[in-house]
A = this chain, B = another copy of it.
């Protein structure tokens, strides 16, 4: 049983619309049609309409959608207008990078503390966020009612840390480790699969080279 009837593919496209619309607004554009969005983002215009429809935003025939309305509707639909506190575990390269991002508050997430198992890192401040010993996570998470965990630890530690997070009341995990976490299915896990992305890139490049090589050998003759 799916809790949310909205297709995941739609959820993934909405942020892309959102950032495009922000840019339009910055340029002062007030109206936009589904077809224009589609062309700009490489999505079929019917698909754009369906995606926007789930947010409840309505356009006017012959006129299009108000950029402001769309932005507000997407924000509300994704709950990006309510910022939730998040704890990050793993203050390594990726963790440090995420702590430096400004844009996540606009996407409903504020990283309020970071944790690390290494005493070398704990005690420091990174990008203005304190790095604490990971032992302090459970107590603090509970006291501050933090329900979002960001997981940027090495793959071999990820499962253990994730379990600690869930035991501390975390309900959603943004996982950067290249493993599939085994957790109660009530926990929301969203993977950032960097290696999946690299796999697609590498394969496409290889296929492209192969077909280019094939063309060249035809051109050169048998």
**Which A residues are within 8 Å of any B CB, using their own CB?**
3-4, 6, 8, 11-16, 18-20, 23, 40-42, 77-80, 82, 84, 92-94, 96-101, 103-104, 107-109, 147-148, 155, 171-172, 174, 178-180, 182, 188, 190-208, 211
User: What is the distance, in angstroms, from A14's C-beta to the closest C-beta of chain B?
Assistant: 6
Q: CA–CA, A199 to B192, complex, Å?
A: 12
Q: CB-CB < 8 A to A99: which residues of B?
A: 93
Cβ-defined contact, A100 with B108, below 8 A: no
A41-B180, A92-B100, A155-B19 are known contacts. Are A12 and B196 too (CB-CB below 8 A)? yes
> Which residue from B15, B100, B155, B178 sits with its C-beta under 8 Å from A196?
B15
Q: CA–CA, A77 to B6, complex, Å?
A: 34
Q: CB-CB < 8 A to A179: which residues of B?
A: 19-20, 23
Cβ-defined contact, B193 with A15, below 8 A: yes
User: What is the distance, in angstroms, from A191's C-beta to the closest C-beta of chain B?
Assistant: 8
Q: CB-CB < 8 A to A96: which residues of B?
A: 93, 96-97
Cβ-defined contact, A4 with B204, below 8 A: yes
Q: CB-CB < 8 A to A147: which residues of B?
A: 205
- A-B CB contact pairs (8 Å), 9 listed: A11-B196, A11-B203, A18-B195, A84-B205, A92-B100, A96-B97, A171-B205, A174-B201, A188-B204
Q: How many chain copies?
A: 2
In the complex, what residue of chain B is closest to A180 when comparing beta carbons? Answer: B41
Q: CB-CB < 8 A to A3: which residues of B?
A: 204, 207-208, 211
Q: CA–CA, A23 to B108, complex, Å?
A: 35
Cβ-defined contact, B195 with A15, below 8 A: yes
Cβ-defined contact, A190 with B201, below 8 A: yes
Q: CA–CA, A109 to B195, complex, Å?
A: 11
Q: CA–CA, A190 to B191, complex, Å?
A: 16
Cβ-defined contact, B20 with A180, below 8 A: yes
> Which residue from B79, B200, B208 sits with its C-beta under 8 Å from A171?
B208
Q: CB-CB < 8 A to A155: which residues of B?
A: 19
Q: CA–CA, A96 to B93, complex, Å?
A: 7
In the complex, what residue of chain B is closest to A186 when comparing beta carbons? Answer: B208
